[in-house]
Structure 1
Amino acid sequence: MKRIFTLCIALCTMATAFSQTDSTTRTTTDTSGKKNPDTIRIGGMVIIREQGGGGGDTVKSKRNRNFNVNVRLGRRNYDKPANISTNWWIVDLGFSNYNDNTDYAGAAAQSFAPGSNEDWFKLRPFKSRNVNIWVLTQRINLAKHIVNLKYGIGIELNNYFFEDKSIRFNKNPTLVDQSYSGLTKNKLAADYLTMPVMLNFNFTPNKSRAYGFSAGVSAGYLYSARQKVKLDGDVDKTKGNFDLRKWKLSYVGEVSLGVVKLYGSYAFKSMFEKGLDMTPYNFGFRFSNF
């Protein structure tokens, strides 16, 4: 702190040398014996050094009543948030599931999964997981830092664990049957490259921890899909798209409660292009700076 103060004095002294104006330093004491702040006069400039609260000094500079600068040293100031804020490597940890509205008595479902019924594709609800990794998220001020535009890009990883471990996805063409037996694990994985765009409402813009919510939509591109099974410790993977939609459009939202942040998403339509009518959704905790 002394070095910073000394540097300020040095810079002002150099300015004085050019203007050929004398400088004076004065410290006064009031009637109670308490020392007033040090005052340094250099030409038309007055520098006041006083002990500030919160573990830092306050440096004030005034000149001709038209210039007033206050700098708080020693602690972070959140009074003026940036118009554009960037957050790297946000992680979501949550759960994946879907609403199954398939008409299993219809021809489309029976041609896709012959003999299927609503019990075939039931999920293990707290075993099916969702992990999102957002490489970049930005927030742009729209109105007094309370209303913001928020967007990002990252990957969504969805793992759907079936209660019925005999389910098998065959490809070229996609056909689902119950030909597995004795499996200890059976899951369908669908991974997307996703970009969300949301309108963000931050009710505490001058605080380090936000309280508010966001709502919007996201567009995701399916870049990988596979069925993974495990039998007696051996793992087997079958890669394919299994007639999953290449694009997933979803409603997305988040709630910020200080250190606790929650997220959720719900797709516009079924994750499958034909045969099964299953609308996916995710929810969980978000680990983010804003």
Structure 2
Amino acid sequence: MKRLAIVVAGILLSGSLMAQTDSTTHSQESDTVKVGNFIIIKKNKDGNSSSNSVWKDWDRNFDIKIERRNRANRNVSTNWWIMDLGFTNYRDQTNYTAAQAGGYFRTLRPADGPVNENSFKLNTGKSTNVNIWFFMQKVNVIKHVVNLKYGLGLEMYNFRFDSRLSYRKDPNPYVYNDSISFSKNKLYAGYLTVPFMININTSPNNRRGFSISAGMSAGYLISSRNKQKSSERGKQKSPGDFNLEPFRVAAIGEVGLGPIRLYGSYSLNKLHKDITRVEQFPYAFGIRFSRW
């Protein structure tokens, strides 16, 4: 009988201790509230954790401490619908004496003069580059400091001429100086492009840190046209490939400091095919609107 009483007393004592432990744990857990990646800790003004009996009077008896815990960086993250706004131009290495001996340059009327270097001069303030990237992905390589970046998008170049230069395809492509002046005269070229870069992020846990990316891109010409506007003819659109090089390979780069990101690209191959004898290498630079 004594043994049974001792066993029963032991069980009751163990249950009482466990209840006290659970009560303390519950009290500590109730003092901490997690909202997203924020941790709210309710403490007494003397620095001790509160108890449930006075939780309702926190505004008079307690201070609230808010701690922000950084979310874990993902090994693969995706950024949708990125936009670039910038300017474009080209480095012109054309030997115009040799080019005029070919069949790409034409003189339809002697009074209009032959196509020369001045015919390809651009209005730099109105020659624009707009890119829309459908997505870009970043893959962690070394502790989120070194990453791979790649994506898919549409690069759009608008070369705005300060001349009477015209592109035609009738049936073979050629360029010539027109007999009238244009208030708007541009060559549009659009490429479906895949970029590939190595990214270095000096502060992977800080969105306001410094990052730099460099790499290559490969694009394919999907649309091109010569758009002109004049008082004599109104608006005109002349579509065609105009012997533009169908593939584009470029060196690309990006620099980011906090929310501000700048991009640049330089074409490693020529804008026109070799048969034209026109040697122009486009480049672009501007602002990139992106989360990372």
Instruction: Give the TM-score of the pair, scaled to structure 1.
Output: 0.76
Partner of 1:112 in structure 2?
104
Please identify, of 186-195 and 114-123, the stretch whose mean Cα deviation from structure 2 is larger: 114-123
**Counterpart Cα distance in 2 of 1:75 and 1:219:** 45
Aligned CA distance change for structure 1 residues 75 and 154 (closer, same or farther; 3 Å): farther
Structure 2 contact 225–241 (Cα < 8 Å) conserved: yes
Pair 1:211 & 2:210 matched: yes
Instruction: Give the TM-score of the pair, scaled to structure 2.
Output: 0.76
Partner of 1:57 in structure 2?
40
Give the alignment of 1:1-290 within 5 angstroms: 22-24=18-20, 39-40=24-25, 47=29, 49-50=31-32, 56-58=39-41, 77-78=69-70, 80-107=72-99, 110-114=102-106, 115-164=114-163, 166-171=164-169, 172-232=171-231, 234-274=234-274, 275=276, 276-290=278-292
Aligned CA distance change for structure 1 residues 107 and 123 (closer, same or farther; 3 Å): closer
Please identify, of 75-84 and 257-266, the stretch whose mean Cα deviation from structure 2 is larger: 75-84
Pairwise CA distance, 1:180:
4.2
Partner of 2:5 in structure 1?
none
What is the one-letter code of the residue matched to 2:24? T
**Counterpart Cα distance in 2 of 1:145 and 1:184:** 50
Pairwise CA distance, 1:260:
1.1
What is the one-letter code of the residue matched to 2:288? R
Aligned CA distance change for structure 1 residues 283 and 109 (closer, same or farther; 3 Å): farther
Aligned CA distance change for structure 1 residues 223 and 55 (closer, same or farther; 3 Å): closer
Q: 2:118 is paired with a residue of what secondary structure? A: coil
Structure 2 contact 38–68 (Cα < 8 Å) conserved: no
Pairwise CA distance, 1:142:
0.1
Q: 2:103 is paired with a residue of what secondary structure? A: helix
Pairwise CA distance, 1:208:
2.2
Could you report, residue by residue, the CA deviation over 1:199-218 in whole angstroms, capped at 9, with x for unpaired residues?
00000101123411000000
Aligned CA distance change for structure 1 residues 51 and 177 (closer, same or farther; 3 Å): closer
Pairwise CA distance, 1:22:
4.4
Q: 1:206 is paired with a residue of what secondary structure? A: coil
Q: CA RMSD in A?
A: 2.9
**Counterpart Cα distance in 2 of 1:236 and 1:273:** 25
**Counterpart Cα distance in 2 of 1:157 and 1:76:** 42
Could you report, residue by residue, the CA deviation over 1:105-139 in whole angstroms, capped at 9, with x for unpaired residues?
11566421142221110100111000000010000
Pairwise CA distance, 1:96:
1.1
**Counterpart Cα distance in 2 of 1:278 and 1:263:** 21
Q: 1:23 is paired with a residue of what secondary structure? A: helix
* Structure 1 runs not aligned, ≥5 long: 1-18, 27-37, 60-72
Number of equivalences? 243
Percent identity over paired residues:
40
Structure 1 contact 167–180 (Cα < 8 Å) conserved: no
Could you report, residue by residue, the CA deviation over 1:144-196 in whole angstroms, capped at 9, with x for unpaired residues?
100000001010010000011x1111112111111241321000000000010
Pairwise CA distance, 1:50:
4.5
What is the one-letter code of the residue matched to 1:57? I
Q: Highest CA radius of gyration, 1 or 2?
A: 2
**Counterpart Cα distance in 2 of 1:286 and 1:145:** 21
**Counterpart Cα distance in 1 of 2:262 and 2:167:** 33
Structure 1 contact 110–116 (Cα < 8 Å) conserved: no
Pairwise CA distance, 1:259:
1.6
